[in-house]
Structure 1
Amino acid sequence: MAFATTDDVVARLGRPVADSTEAARITAFLDDASGLVSDYCRTDFQQHTNETFELVIEEGQVQLAPSLFPNLSISSITLYDEDQDRDLTTDEWRVVRRTLFVRCAPSYTTITVTASWGWAAVPAAVKAAVCSEVIRWLSVSPGTVMEKTGDLEVQYAATAYNSGLSEAAKSMLSKYRQRAASISLSRTNEPEIPWRYSTTT
């Protein structure tokens, strides 16, 4: 799904679309730019509602993926324990920062989580970055990349489209980028877990 529309690009261009060919290029560039932004930020900027996924709990806790934020709201958790499924009460689990703690869970088990998370709308900075990249790509006409005559070879600068996201776009998106990192988990004693925290983070 594109993070901006053709109308968004046209408003920033300050002129109407020249013809159907340019309209098609804008549509394709919007999809491409949105894909690059999604990969760079490691999020789809979409609203996910009541989706179900599985997690493996080790020693009563699991680190939640950055893609589940912001606005994570867990509605239910089902624990697989001794070949039986059991729905946990809200007193039996808590999310602290980005770690899910589960009381009385076996040392290693699987849980099913139903939750909602994500963005109600694409952030303005993300839309602006996508539009600016599309306009930048539109300004470069496709042409000859390299010419060779005998021993003489001339290679022209790569087009803006082939270079991916610009440094300016990356700077605009920096606050939305989810950082990849290695995480070490250790057992946290139950008395230290603030069980009165909200189930929404």
Structure 2
Amino acid sequence: MSALASQADLEARLGRALTAAEEARIDALLDDASALVRAYTGQAFSLTEDEEITLPAISGKITLPQRPVIDITHVIAVGGSDALPDFAVVDWMFDGIETIRVGSGGFVINLPEAWWDDEDGYPGTYRVTYSHGYATVPGDVLSVVCGMALRTLTSPTTAGGVVSETIGSYSYRLDSASGGLGVVMSAEDRKVLDRYRRTATTTRVGR
């Protein structure tokens, strides 16, 4: 999966071209920053077409993990055995955000009796094909990725977590959580990204 920002994005914010030493590091730093952003938010952000994913349904509701959802192509009920073959679901509705509401199966001729054995009356697993993501990475996400990479890239030293500077006979040295070798996500970065996270989910608990 490609990085969420480019060298050109960093140079635009830095106000100059990268040096040869900086160019040698920048791809890895952008990849690291992008990976941290994706891990924290649970979102890919990149435009993805016709991804196939298998998901559970809770009381007939399937929650798609990636947003924004652009298009849903197929919803397939997964049988999992010869006795319970897969079948295409036709009675489903999308809420326009992230949830598919599956019908009770009344439109399916000769629906296997075993489907009705589940306590909520729905198949438990579905295979969904859908397209999602952004044609252009959102500006706030781009800003966070660039900031994370630039803090590390422009640190005075590559000794992890240490920043130092000398001016004439005066020098100072301090620890920094955002400098050195590794890319670090700050508390402010998390605040910006929080709106992309899913903060609550619903599950079914058996008795």
TM (norm. structure 1) is 0.71
Amino acid at match of 1:34: S
2: CA distance between counterparts of 1:169 and 1:47? 22
| Higher helix content, 1 or 2 | 1
Q: Which residue of 2 aligns with 1:157?
A: 175
**Could you tell me which residue of structure 1 aligns to residue 104 of structure 2?**
104
What is aligned with 1:83? Answer: 84
Q: Work out whether residues 47 and 120 of structure 1, in 8 Å CA contact, stay in contact via their aligned partners in 2.
A: yes
Tell me the equivalent position of 1:190. none
**Partner AA of 1:115 in structure 2:** Y
Question: What is the Cα-based RMSD across aligned positions, in Å?
Answer: 2.8
**What residue in structure 1 maps to residue 94 of structure 2?**
95
1:15-58 Cα distance to aligned partner (Å, 9 max, x none): 22222x21112222111111111112211111221122223335
Superposition deviation, residue 80 in structure 1: 4.5
1:114 match: secondary structure: strand
> Which residue matches 2:30?
30
Match of 1:69 in 2: 67
Within 5 Å, which residues of 2 pair with 1:38-77? 38-59=38-59, 61-65=60-64, 67-77=65-75
* 2:11 and 2:18 in contact (8 A); partners too: yes
- What is the one-letter code of the residue matched to 1:124? G
Residue of structure 1 in register with 2:14 after alignment: 13
Given that 1:72 and 1:115 are in contact with CA atoms closer than 8 Å, whether structure 2 keeps it comes out as yes
CA–CA distance in structure 1, aligned partners of residues 146 and 58 of structure 2: 44
Q: Find the aligned partners of 1:86 and 1:144 in 2 and give their Cα distance.
A: 54
3-state DSSP of counterpart to 1:38: helix
Distance, in Å, in 2 between the alignment partners of 1:113 and 1:80 is 10
Per-residue CA shift, 1:156-187, capped at 9, x if unaligned?
A: 514524471123322332322x134241459x
In the other structure, the counterpart of 1:193 is none
Give unmatched runs, 5+ long, in structure 1: 147-154, 187-201
Identity of aligned residues (%): 28
Q: Which has the higher contact order (CA 8 A, sep 6+)?
A: 1
Residue identity opposite 2:38 in structure 1: S
Give the TM-score taking structure 2 as reference length.
0.70
State how many pairs are aligned: 172
